[in-house]
Chains A and B, each alone.
Chain A
Amino acid sequence: MTNNIEQTSTSDIDTDTDIDVDAATQAEKKAELKREYKELAIQGLWKNNPGLVQLLGLCPLLAVTATVTNALGLGLATLLVLVCSNLTVSAIRQWVPKEIRIPIFVLIIAAFVTCVQLLMNAYTFGIYQSLGIFLPLIVTNCAIIGRAEAYASKNPVKQATFDGLMMGLGFTLVLIVLGAIREILGQGTLFDGANLLLGDWASVLRIEVYQLDSQFLLAILPPGAFIAMGFIIALKNVIDNHIKQRQPKAVKQDIERVRVNFDS
């Protein structure tokens, strides 16, 4: 009996430790997952922003950001397509042969873009018209196929979807900032025509920052987008440099070598 009790007790202890180990590994996994999500968010929104760092999808970025409303419309459309395509690509990644993966990704993206295009045509016709060709051109947006190829085709569904969300948000934010700068400089307003995108109530969002007798056409035309984009990237680099300088420097022992060159 005692033996038995001992045995059971030992077995109890064993199972306890097993549970502990399981809990520990699970907690570790959770923490790791959390870290990965955090890393994905930082990468998408700042460090590896598709608009500011990767400079992908510059064509719509520069062409349609004359007003915040247009920027928001295109940003939301891209965000939706990016999330859906990342999800689908990640879900079918086991069955896609490596040789023909790019055409399959393009087909998936094109299908979602068509859905978004039809939806915008039905519900936000004004924005659909002002975005014009750049809405169907989301298919060729390198940011989307880049994420499908670089991340979604190698990672599980949840992470891939989150990555698409963060990358899309980063892209949308850049679009909105650029749109705001260009709209303020060009027309002196903010959220002009927001009712086209968000419904009639949104016409109260329109802010007249200052009164302009004549529009500053450079800011509205594409060259202004290039110049404003350059300033935004410069600002990001300034902030990055500032953060880098504030971090304590790891002191490294320099190994000095004397270079002797007899030829010169």
Chain B
Amino acid sequence: MAFWIASSPHNHNQAETSALMRLVTYALFPGIFAQWYFFGWGNLIHITLAVVTALISEFIVLSLRSKHGNKSTNKHTLSKQLFDGSAILTAVLIGICLPAIAPWWIAVIGSIFAVVVVKQLYGGLGQNPFNPAMAAYVMLLISFPVQMTSWQPPLSLMTVDLNLSNTISTIFTGFTSEGYSVEQLRADIDGFTMATPLDTLKTNASLGLTVYETMQNQIFGAHFSLGWEWINAAFLLGGVFLIFKKAIAWQTPASFLFSLFICTFIAYSISPDSSASTMFHWLSGGCMLGAFFILTDPVTGATSTKGRVIIGALAGLLVYVIRDFGGYPDGVAFAVLLCNMTAPLIDRYTRPRTYGHQPSITKQEEGK
């Protein structure tokens, strides 16, 4: 009788792509709920639109590719690929990033671009050099600056009651059922347009106001930034859940947040009048979403432990630089794309040592 001998690893974790993607999508739910609570139905509608568009475009590209590819890809694998959750997760992330009252075609164009150009043209799942959701977000931000920056203030500050039917009619026609335009929706009682906290901070800094004076604005609320702080806290909660489930590595978000803390701490110590606090930076914009759900993307991020630390630190530095010195109020998406570009290089130089081998070939040769 012959023994069946296999090489290690002997214990397999039977995790599938779809299971991981499902877990990450579930972890987004607290953040989406917080968004719904503070900004209304808009993001849920955009998520629905984006998911439907992403699935349709994924189906079209996959069927085109399976026609020209090998014959073994039958209908079963096509539906398996279609519902492996990657396209759905990308679409959900796009829907979360969009302003709640952006027009419907923003979500549609964004998810088509993410799935067709950024993901499938580079070879599909696992082959894309850039995070599809962030690449699509940056494409939309560059192409449609007006629509992509028309963030509404949190519901509690709005002068118009934005219910579900009003949101749907704003997204599809540009006006509420009472005839208010997007601009009017964003206006406060005095008729001034309210922007996001990050945007307001940037504009006021250019007007010569100090951070303390800016923070008196009603959109900052009692703590750091009204609404946004709770949304970020909810994403943090989901991210901690993912780390607890070992779905993502803790090094990337930890090093990202620590790097952002260092940068903002230095800036705050040097000139507290012109730089916001670390907590404001942590709890505004897309900080926590980027830290736990975007930077930790297993395809486009770094793979080694050291590499993850470097990528996180680099992203934190870039986010701080773009927020404080750049032209855009929030820099998470740009920072993520720049880090995606550097990831292969970082991976190359942080390759872990294989057990029983010398640290590296070059050093070995030098030793001789």
**A-side interface residues toward B, CB under 8 Å?**
214, 216-219, 221, 223, 227
Contacts and interface: CB of A to CB of B under 8 A. Distances in A.
Does more than half of chain B's interface fall in helix, strand or loop, or is it mixed? helix
Interface of B: 117, 139, 142-147
16 contacts: A214-B144, A214-B146, A214-B147, A216-B143, A216-B144, A217-B142, A217-B143, A217-B144, A217-B145, A218-B139, A218-B142, A218-B143, A219-B143, A221-B142, A223-B142, A227-B117
Contacts of B147: 214
Nearest to A220: B143
Given A217-B143, A227-B117, 7 more contacts: A214-B146, A217-B142, A217-B144, A217-B145, A218-B142, A218-B143, A221-B142
Nearest to A185: B143
Contacts of B139: 218
A219 B139 CA distance: 10
Contacts of B142: 217-218, 221, 223
Nearest to B145: A217
A217 B145 CA distance: 9
A175 to B, nearest CB: 23
A218 B135 CA distance: 12
Contacts of A218: 139, 142-143
Nearest to B144: A214
A227 B136 CA distance: 14
Contacts of A221: 142
Contacts of B145: 217
Nearest to B147: A214
B24 to A, nearest CB: 28
B185 to A, nearest CB: 17
A243 to B, nearest CB: 16
Contacts of A214: 144, 146-147
Nearest to A186: B143
A223 B147 CA distance: 20
B195 to A, nearest CB: 19
Contacts of B146: 214
Contacts of A223: 142
Nearest to A217: B143
B140 to A, nearest CB: 9
A174 B127 CA distance: 30
A227 B135 CA distance: 13
A17 to B, nearest CB: 59
B137 to A, nearest CB: 12
Instruction: Indicate the member of B142, B145, B146 with the most A CB atoms within 10 Å.
Output: B142
A223 B139 CA distance: 10
Contacts of B144: 214, 216-217
B340 to A, nearest CB: 16
Pick the 7 closest A-B CB pairs, nearest first: A218-B143, A217-B143, A216-B143, A218-B139, A214-B144, A218-B142, A214-B146
B60 to A, nearest CB: 15
B4 to A, nearest CB: 23
A216 B143 CA distance: 5
B117 to A, nearest CB: 7
A69 to B, nearest CB: 22
A216 B145 CA distance: 10
Instruction: Indicate the member of A214, A219, A221 with the most B CB atoms within 10 Å.
Output: A214
Nearest to B174: A213
Nearest to A234: B121
Nearest to B140: A218
Contacts of B117: 227
Nearest to B113: A218
Contacts of A227: 117
B111 to A, nearest CB: 15
B143 to A, nearest CB: 4
A218 B112 CA distance: 14
A205 B60 CA distance: 36
A152 to B, nearest CB: 38
A145 B139 CA distance: 36
B288 to A, nearest CB: 28
Nearest to B117: A227
A219 B140 CA distance: 11
B345 to A, nearest CB: 22
B227 to A, nearest CB: 27
B145 to A, nearest CB: 7
Nearest to B103: A213
A227 B112 CA distance: 14
A219 to B, nearest CB: 8
A219 B117 CA distance: 14
A38 to B, nearest CB: 32
B30 to A, nearest CB: 33
Nearest to A218: B143
A217 B144 CA distance: 7
A246 to B, nearest CB: 16
A21 B17 CA distance: 77
A221 B146 CA distance: 16
Instruction: Indicate the member of B139, B146, B147 with the most A CB atoms within 10 Å.
Output: B139
Nearest to A216: B143
A66 to B, nearest CB: 14
B193 to A, nearest CB: 18
A214 B109 CA distance: 14
B203 to A, nearest CB: 22
A221 B139 CA distance: 11
A234 to B, nearest CB: 9
A214 B105 CA distance: 12
